[in-house]
Amino acid sequence: MRSTPQSRVRRRHERFVVEALLREDRQTRAELARSLDVSTVTVGKIVDDLMRQGVIEERDDAEAAPDGGASAGRPARPVGLQRRAPRVVAAELSRRWVRLAALPIGAGREAPWQASVPMSRSQPVLTRRLREAKRALGVDRPWAVAVSTPGVTDDAGGRVLFSPNLHWTEGFDLPAMFGSVWGAPVCVVQEIRAAALAHRLCAGVSEDFLLVDFGEGLGGAAVVDGRLYQGAVPLSAEIGHVVRPGNPRRCGCGARGCLETLASVRGVKRSYKEATGDARPTWGRMVKRVESHGIEPWLAETLEASGETIGGALNVLGLRHVAITGWPTRMPEAVGLALGHCLERSTLWARFGRVTWTLAPRRRVAGLLAAAIDRVVLAGDGCDV
Ligand SMILES: [Zn+2]
């Protein structure tokens, strides 16, 4: 659709309303108008449009605010994002599984995965498994499919350009594969960017931040000026592939010494195994070890390296807030504190200003839902979440 100044303004207002309802369900038109600083008449028109599209619905709520929308001649009934029928299929590609969920627009920030199929290196095999899973999910014609992938992703083209941990996905045509199964537009979002998008929307974060996820890999995504930061190439904040001097481990990207080989789940398990000789390094045993022995060198060195690298990223990007997701949130509190202190020591802003960090839940489902709403449901002038 051709973009005009009017359509861009309207879309921006629609996004404001949808994002406000993602953060807090059940708001009256007057409440929305106050929080968005636009007139109740304007909000009323946007709400009517979004209701016609089936994006939002009225909440049957007897406790509506007495003044909610009354000045615009509207009922005071609050509205929320539509919950009646699944409209978006969210899919997450990982090393072993493709996780799936069929979600209404108003599924909320804690929406869970509903099904998973084993990952395959063959696109035809994976397509067949997705078709089988489609029946279980029970949504035939969704409005959109949102797919998250690790690695370096060309979100606009829907291609994985480079994936150190899932090399074979580089040949997949994800829009064609998911589109053939569900017959709907497909948007591809790099997984850490999906998590950052969810953090911005669901946690109500108004300041810019760097999100760092400690998972199968180690990735980052920055939100700058309220938007996901995108550089000249579709790759940014890739702190997992910063080389740490003296680290001999070989990385899936082909380099030697990347931080990811220390700070991913596999990396930290390997360090624990090498230091303790534990032949069965499960996560539970590692947590017990930290509880009984404190932060030993096998973990301290990884926290130090991670903190220094994150601090370097803050210095380069000009950010002072960090959201940490992944395994540090599943460790004793002292681990998160140690990581936070390391990154503060490495950030120039902390010498005279305040650097803050928070441990946050990983909300990829919510991030995918938000991306699908923005890129497909409210689409009009391109993908720019
Ligand atoms: Zn690497």
**311-340 average pLDDT score:** 96
User: 318: alpha, beta or left, given left = phi > 0 and alpha = psi -120 to 50?
Assistant: left
Please say whether the dihedral angle defined by the alpha carbons of residues 116, 117, 121 and 124, taken in this order, is positive or negative. negative
Helices (H), 4-115: 5-23, 29-36, 40-52
CATH number of 88-195+364-377: 3.30.420.40
CB contact at 8 A, 275 and 261: no
Distance CA 68, CA 76 (A): 4
pTM given for the model: 0.84
Indicate the helix (H) or strand (E) that contains 107. Answer: none
Residue 66: pLDDT above 90? no
What's the pLDDT at 64? 47
pLDDT digits (tens, 9 = 90+) for 12-24: 888 888 888 888 8
Q: Which two tokens stand for residue 133?
A: 């899973």
pLDDT digits (tens, 9 = 90+) for 141-169: 899 999 998 888 887 777 888 888 788 88
Same fold, 5-81 and 88-195+364-377: no
Taking the centre of ligand 1 as the mean of its atom positions, its distance from the CA of residue 235, in whole angstroms, is 13
pLDDT digits (tens, 9 = 90+) for 177-228: 999 999 999 999 888 998 898 888 877 677 899 999 999 899 999 999 888 8
Taking the centre of ligand 1 as the mean of its atom positions, its distance from the CA of residue 164, in whole angstroms, is 7
List the one residue out of 282, 289, 339, 334 whose CA is nearest residue 309: 339
Distance CA 385, CA 383 (A): 6
* Number of Cα atoms under 13 Å in the Cβ half of residue 382: 8
SS3 content of the chain, % helix, strand, coil (to 5): 45, 20, 35
pLDDT confidence tier of residue 72, bands split at 50, 70 and 90: very low
What's the pLDDT at 206? 76
Taking the centre of ligand 1 as the mean of its atom positions, its distance from the CA of residue 287, in whole angstroms, is 26
Please state the domain extents for the chain.
Answer: 5-81, 88-195+364-377, 206-359
CB contact at 8 A, 234 and 154: yes
pLDDT confidence tier of residue 101, bands split at 50, 70 and 90: very high
Alpha carbon distances (Å) from 65 to 31, 56, 146, 174 = 9, 18, 35, 45
What's the pLDDT at 126? 94
- Radius of gyration in angstroms for the set of CA atoms belonging to the chain, rounded to a whole number: 22
**99-110 average pLDDT score:** 87
CB contact at 8 A, 329 and 195: no
Taking the centre of ligand 1 as the mean of its atom positions, its distance from the CA of residue 310, in whole angstroms, is 16
In the CATH hierarchy, which fold is given to the domain comprising 206-359? Answer: Nucleotidyltransferase; domain 5 (3.30.420)
Taking the centre of ligand 1 as the mean of its atom positions, its distance from the CA of residue 20, in whole angstroms, is 38
What's the pLDDT at 75? 57
List the one residue out of 372, 385, 355 whose CA is nearest residue 142: 372
**113-135 average pLDDT score:** 93
Taking the centre of ligand 1 as the mean of its atom positions, its distance from the CA of residue 255, in whole angstroms, is 5
CB contact at 8 A, 363 and 198: yes
pLDDT digits (tens, 9 = 90+) for 242-287: 999 999 999 989 999 999 999 999 999 999 999 999 988 899 999 9
Question: How does the average pLDDT of the chain come out, rounded?
Answer: 87
Distance CA 154, CA 330 (A): 31
What's the pLDDT at 338? 97
β-sheet bridge partners, residue 354: none
What's the pLDDT at 169? 84
Q: Which two tokens stand for residue 189?
A: 């979002």
Single-letter amino acid code for the residue at 281: P
**369-383 average pLDDT score:** 69
Q: Estimate the crossing angle of helix 5-23 against helix 29-36, to 10 degrees.
A: 110
Residue 303: pLDDT above 70? yes
CATH architecture of 5-81: Orthogonal Bundle (1.10)
What's the pLDDT at 3? 60
Distance CA 261, CA 271 (A): 10
Taking the centre of ligand 1 as the mean of its atom positions, its distance from the CA of residue 190, in whole angstroms, is 17
Taking the centre of ligand 1 as the mean of its atom positions, its distance from the CA of residue 254, in whole angstroms, is 6
